[in-house]
Structure 1
Amino acid sequence: MGFRRGILFVLILLMIGVLAACGNGDAKDASSEDTAGSSDETVDIGQISWAENIAVTNMWKVILEEKGYNVEFHLLDMGTQMAALANDELDVNLEFWLPVQDKNYLEQYKDEVDFSEEVWYDNAKVGLVVPAYMEDINSIEDLNGKEDLFESEITGFEPGAGTMDVTEEMIVEYGLDYELVPSSEPAMITEIQEAIKAEEPIVSPLWNPHRVFAELDLKYLEDPKKVYGETEKIHHATRLGFSEDFPEIDQWLKNWKMDDDSIGALMSYIAEAEEAGEEPIVGAEKWVEENQDLVNEWLNE
């Protein structure tokens, strides 16, 4: 009997071990199921190499990844982003200007892209700028007859941007004998910086919010025909079906609001990070950490 009891005891221990192992496996699987709902989901965000766009895309990357989502950036010009949203190849575009700058995209894709009615920044401005020392150039109309001074060129940024399209319309509207020369926003800003350093003439389309106005003495030219509009508002856009696939994020984006101080501080932190040789995300992390109360308002926390 002692031998049989010993065998029985060993069998019981083995059964307990097997059940424990199965239990641990179930717990592990359950834990994985609990976390997979967010951490395995990727949000594809369009990015443009504009200072404010780099700032807000990195800010949302920090916020969403803290909530367990993966965020992938896709550096695309505005026209390509709109097409990608329409084709379900992109989830979000965080910067869409109305009523003037991006109206053509709204008309083209209104049935294929979800353009949010919510505004995250309501004090934007767009127009032509020149260095403040150009005292005789104060209106777009003043550019007529000054072609030699500017070599008949308006220094622009990425082709396909709504403001570039509006600038082409402005050239026609004002009868200017100028060519709009495309490049990129960083290249345009560098040309403006170099022109001011040499106290040379230059004219470019620019916008607020932009940190360059805190760094350089520039002035907007009057636009009596209102080709650039007056106050612009910045919205976001998503692919159709995004609100069903990501209802939580969809609501957070609709809650999102920034003013001059908040967007200015964010852009400054991004600039400081880049000047220190760090990635923009470092500046965004710092801003989010210091502005958690505002972020929590967007997240309803």
Structure 2
Amino acid sequence: MTRNLLSQSVRYTMLAMAAGISLGAGTAQAEESKGTINLAYVEWASEVASTNVVRAVLEQEGYKVNMDSLSAAVMWQALGTGDADAIVAAWLPTTHADYLSKVKDEVVDLGPNLDGTKLGLVVPEYTYEKVPSIADLNANADLFDDKIVGIDPGAGLMSMTEKAMKEYGIDDLSLQSSSGAAMTSALANAIQNHQDIVVTGWTPHWMFARWDLKYLEDPKKAYGDAEHIDTVVHKGLKERMPQAYAILDNFYWTPEQMGEVMLMNQKPGSDPYENAKKWVSEHPDVVKKWTEGTAE
């Protein structure tokens, strides 16, 4: 009798444990059922930082997030077709204006997630003392080995630089395509050897925290005035995932906050995604402003 009761007790315990495991699995599935958000971005230090931070926050709120690194043109195309749900990498009103115009009927601009950006040609401070303006480049082409070091060819900054070169009549230098990483590598090498170099640059960027750099003066305003970085989503996201939409709409931070993440990402062997999660965990008050009142 005692033995039978013991057997029954064991059976009930095992059933209860199984039910608990099943219930736990069901709860985990429920927590993971909010859906998948596809984020596209350009491989710029600023956009790597911001997109990973947004990913970390959305995942914290129960979403699965995919990230796709694309050229600027393809990024906007993906957003227009709906292959991407959102970007936090729209440089407006100038740099990405042409891209936005092609998909404006298929997207919603949620406004700036960061203010105070700038674009232009950048040189080391010791070069600026000799060549302070874009207008001085032609006469000093030999200092720069007859080239301006650019980034990826699809970037809006590159097309703006081509227009600026025409506006200033710069025909003794050519614009060299590379990538954001290759550009900063060339800049680091030149500074290490105290050589003159001119590169396409933008703020916010970690290179300004690492080296003494100057923007060449732009009296003709070929690069326009200061810009902002916007969050843009594909139409229909608000209805499909209202909480994710609200978080993306609330996302806003400062160049200083972005700079913290960018500098973390420059450490050898660091992982931008892990750095983003660390930053998010260390700034709960900031993240709360993005997520507060957004629960579905």
Report the TM-score range of the alignment, normalised by the length of the smaller protein. 0.7 to 0.9
Match of 2:239 in 1: 244
Instruction: Identify the match of residue 131 of structure 1 among 118, 124, 131.
Output: 124
Does 2:57 correspond to 1:63?
Answer: yes
Instruction: Identify the match of residue 86 of structure 1 among 52, 76, 80.
Output: 80
RMSD across aligned C-alpha pairs, in angstroms? 2.6
CA distance in 1, matches of 2:66, 2:83: 12
2:115 is matched by which residue type in structure 1? Answer: D
After TM superposition, what 4+ stretches of structure 1 lie above 2 angstroms from structure 2?
27-40, 112-116, 268-271
2:151 is matched by which residue type in structure 1? Answer: F
Does 2:179 correspond to 1:187?
Answer: no
Is the alpha carbon distance of 1:270 and 1:30 closer, same or farther for their aligned partners in structure 2, counting shifts above 3 Å? closer
Instruction: Identify the match of residue 169 of structure 1 among 151, 163, 183.
Output: 163
Match of 1:233 in 2: 228
2:68 is matched by which residue type in structure 1? Answer: H
TM-score by length of 2: 0.87
Match of 1:257 in 2: 252
1:96 is matched by which residue type in structure 2? Answer: A
SS at match of 1:111: helix
What is the 5 A alignment of 1:116-127?
A: 116=110, 118-127=111-120
Match of 1:4 in 2: none
Q: Note if contact 2:264-2:270 (Cα within 8 Å) is conserved in structure 1.
A: no
Q: Note if contact 1:128-1:204 (Cα within 8 Å) is conserved in structure 2.
A: yes
User: What is the CA-CA distance between 1:34 and the residue it aligns to?
Assistant: 8.4
2:105 is matched by which residue type in structure 1? Answer: D
TM-score by length of 1: 0.85
2:279 is matched by which residue type in structure 1? Answer: W
Which ranges of structure 1 fall in alignment gaps of 5 or more residues? 1-16
SS at match of 2:232: strand
Match of 2:269 in 1: 277
Which ranges of structure 2 fall in alignment gaps of 5 or more residues? 1-10
Does 2:289 correspond to 1:294?
Answer: no
User: What is the CA-CA distance between 1:279 and the residue it aligns to?
Assistant: 1.5
CA distance in 2, matches of 1:279, 1:152: 36
Q: Note if contact 2:80-2:234 (Cα within 8 Å) is conserved in structure 1.
A: yes
Render the CA deviation track for 1:59-108: whole Å, top value 9, x for unaligned: 11211111111111111111001111111111111111112111111222
Render the CA deviation track for 1:131-167: whole Å, top value 9, x for unaligned: 1101121111011222222232110011111111111
CA distance in 1, matches of 2:29, 2:292: 21
Does 2:163 correspond to 1:149?
Answer: no
1:252 is matched by which residue type in structure 2? Answer: I
Match of 1:209 in 2: 204
Q: Note if contact 2:88-2:231 (Cα within 8 Å) is conserved in structure 1.
A: yes
Q: Note if contact 1:269-1:286 (Cα within 8 Å) is conserved in structure 2.
A: no
Q: Note if contact 1:102-1:162 (Cα within 8 Å) is conserved in structure 2.
A: yes
User: What is the CA-CA distance between 1:194 and the residue it aligns to?
Assistant: 0.5
- Identity of counterpart residues, as a percentage? 37
Aligned length: 281
Q: Note if contact 1:99-1:232 (Cα within 8 Å) is conserved in structure 2.
A: yes
CA distance in 2, matches of 1:169, 1:109: 23
CA distance in 1, matches of 2:238, 2:153: 30
